[in-house]
Chain A
Amino acid sequence: MTRFLLARLVQSVAVLVVMSFVIYGLIGLMPGDPIDLMINADPKMTSEDATRLRALYGLDKPIIERYGNWLKAALTADLGYSRLHAKPVLEVLGPALGNTIVLLGLSFLLSLAIGLPAGIAAALRPYSRSDYAINFLAFAGISVPAFWLALLLIIVFAVFLGILPASGTGTIGAAGFWESAKYVVLPVANLTIASAGGHTRYMRAAMIETLRQDYIRTARAKGASQTRVVFRHALRNAMIPVVTVVALNFGYLFSGALITETIFAYPGMGKLIFDAIMGNDFNLALVALLFATVLTLAGNLLADLTYAWLDPRISYQ
Chain B
Amino acid sequence: MAEAYAIQPGNPDVVLEVRNLDVVFTSDTGTVKAVDGVSFDLSPGQTLGLVGESGCGKSVTALSLLDLVPLPGRVAAGEILLDGTDLIGLPDAALQRVRGVRLSMIFQEPMTSLNPVISVGRQVAETLEIHQLASKSEAWTSAITMLAKVGIPDAAERAGSYPHQMSGGMRQRVMIAMALICRPGVLIADEPTTALDVTIQAQILDLMLDIQRELGTAILFISHDLAVISEIADDVLVMYAGRIVEQAPATSLFAAPLHPYTRGLIETLPTAGPRQDRLPAIPGTVPDLSALPPGCRFSDRCALADDQCRTAEPPLEFLGSGRRVACFKATP
Which residues 54-70 of B sit at the A interface, judged by CB distance below 8 A?
Answer: 66, 68
Which one of B97, B99, B112, B131 lies within 8 Å of A221 (CB-CB)? Answer: B99
Q: Mark A290-314, 1 if CB is under 8 A from B, else 0.
A: 0000000000000000000011110
Q: Are B118 and A214 in contact (CB under 8 A)?
A: no
Q: A237 contacts the other chain (Cβ, under 8 Å)?
A: yes
| Interface pick from A105-113, A173-181, A223-231, A244-252 | A223-231
Range class of the A interface residue count: 20 to 34
Taking the complex as formed, is A222 at the interface, i.e. its CB lies under 8 A from any CB of chain B? yes
A215/B130 in contact, CB under 8 A? no
Considering the complex, which residues of chain A in the window 264-312 have a beta carbon less than 8 Å from any beta carbon of chain B? 310-312
Using an 8 Å CB-CB cutoff, how does the interface string of A205-233 with B read, 1 for contact, 0 for none?
A: 00000000111011111111110100011
Q: Which residues of A contact B99 (CB under 8 A)?
A: 220-223
Q: Which residues of B, 103-142, contact A by the 8 Å Cβ criterion? A: 104-105, 107, 109, 112-119, 126-127, 130-131
Chain A residue contacts of B179, Cβ below 8 A: 221
* A236 in the interface (beta carbon within 8 A): yes
Contact assessment for B68 and A221 in the assembled complex, using a CB-CB cutoff below 8 Å? yes
Q: How many residues of B contact A (CB 8 A)?
A: 31
A214 and B113 form a contact (CB under 8 A): yes
Q: Are A217 and B116 in contact (CB under 8 A)?
A: no
Q: Main secondary structure on chain A at its contact with chain B?
A: helix
Return B92 CB to nearest CB of chain A, in Å. Answer: 7
Taking a contact as CB atoms under 8 Å apart, the answer to whether B112 and A214 are in contact is yes
A152 to chain B, nearest CB (A): 41
A residues within 8 A CB of B127? 222-223
Residue of B98, B100, B116, B175 touching A312 (CB-CB under 8 A): B116
C-alpha spacing A313/B166, complex, angstroms: 12
Q: Given A214-B113, A218-B114, A220-B99, decide whether A226 and B68 contact each other with a Cβ distance below 8 A.
A: no
Indicate which residue in B92, B98, B101, B113 contacts A217 across the interface (CB closer than 8 Å): B113
Contact status of A223 and B114, CB under 8 A, knowing A217-B68, A228-B130: no
Contact B118 A233 (CB under 8 A): yes
A313 to B111, CA, bound (A): 14
Chain B residues lying within 8 Å of A228, measured Cβ to Cβ, are 130
Give 1 or 0 for each of B176-202: 1 = CB within 8 Å of chain A CB.
001100000000000000000000000
Which one of A225, A237, A313 lies within 8 Å of B96 (CB-CB)? A225
Does B162 touch A at the CB level, under 8 Å?
A: yes
Cα distance A310–B119 in the bound complex, in angstroms: 13
Q: Are A222 and B126 in contact, CB atoms less than 8 angstroms apart?
A: yes
Within the complex, the shortest CB–CB distance from A210 to chain B, in Å, comes to 10
B67: nearest residue on chain A (CB-CB)?
A220
Contacts of A312 in B (CB 8 A): 116-117, 119, 162, 164
What residues on A are CB-neighbors of B105 within 8 Å?
221
Residues in B with CB closer than 8 Å to A233 are 115, 118
Contacts of B130 in A (CB 8 A): 222-225, 228
For B68, the chain A residues whose CB sits under 8 A away are 217, 220-221
Task: Say which residue of A214, A224, A236, A310 sits within 8 Å of B126 (CB atoms).
Answer: A224
Known contacts: A223-B98, A223-B99, A226-B92. The answer to whether A311 contacts B116 by CB under 8 A is: yes
Give chain A nearest CB distance to B74 CB in angstroms: 15
Given the complex, which residues of A lie within 8 Å of B66, measured CB to CB? Answer: 220-221
Of B100, B162, B178, the residue contacting A313 (CB under 8 A) is B162
Q: How far is the CA of A236 from the CA of B119 in the complex (A)?
A: 13
Q: Tell me the minimal C-beta distance from B96 to chain A in angstroms.
A: 5
Q: Which of A213, A222, A237 contacts B100 (CB 8 A)?
A: A222
Closest to A218 in B: B113
With A221-B105, A224-B130 in contact, do A215 and B96 touch (Cβ < 8 Å)? no
Q: Which residues of A contact B107 (CB under 8 A)?
A: 214, 217-218, 221
Q: Tell me the bound Cα distance from A33 to B29 in angstroms.
A: 69
Known pairs A214-B107, A228-B130, A313-B162; A219 contacts B98 (CB<8 A)? no
In the assembled complex, the Cα of A41 lies from the Cα of B226 at a distance in Å of: 94
B100 contacts A215, C-beta separation under 8 Å: no
CB-based nearest A residue for B164: A313
Give min CB distance, B5 to chain A, whole Å.
27
Q: Which residues of the partner chain A approach B92 to less than 8 Å between Cβ atoms? A: 225-226
CA distance in complex: A233, B116 (Å) = 9
- Chain B residues, Cβ within 8 Å of A222: 99-100, 104, 126-127, 130, 178
Given A223-B99, A312-B162: A215 touches B113 (CB 8 Å cut-off): yes
Residues of chain B within 8 A (CB-CB) of A226 are 92
Q: How far is the CA of A225 from the CA of B97 in the complex (A)?
A: 9
Min C-beta distance of A236 to chain B, whole Å = 5
Residues of chain A within 8 A (CB-CB) of B116 are 215, 237, 311-313
A274 to B118, CA, bound (A): 48
B104 and A213 contact, CB distance less than 8 A = no
Chain A interface residues toward B at CB < 8 A: 213-215, 217-226, 228, 232-233, 236-237, 310-313
A to B CB contacts below 8 Å, 18 in the list: A215-B112, A215-B115, A215-B116, A218-B107, A218-B114, A220-B66, A221-B99, A222-B104, A222-B130, A223-B131, A224-B130, A225-B93, A232-B118, A233-B118, A237-B117, A312-B117, A312-B164, A313-B116
Given A215-B115, A220-B68, A232-B118: 18 more A-B contacts, CB < 8 Å = A213-B112, A214-B107, A214-B112, A214-B113, A215-B112, A217-B68, A218-B113, A218-B175, A221-B104, A222-B99, A223-B97, A223-B100, A224-B126, A225-B130, A228-B130, A237-B115, A311-B116, A312-B117
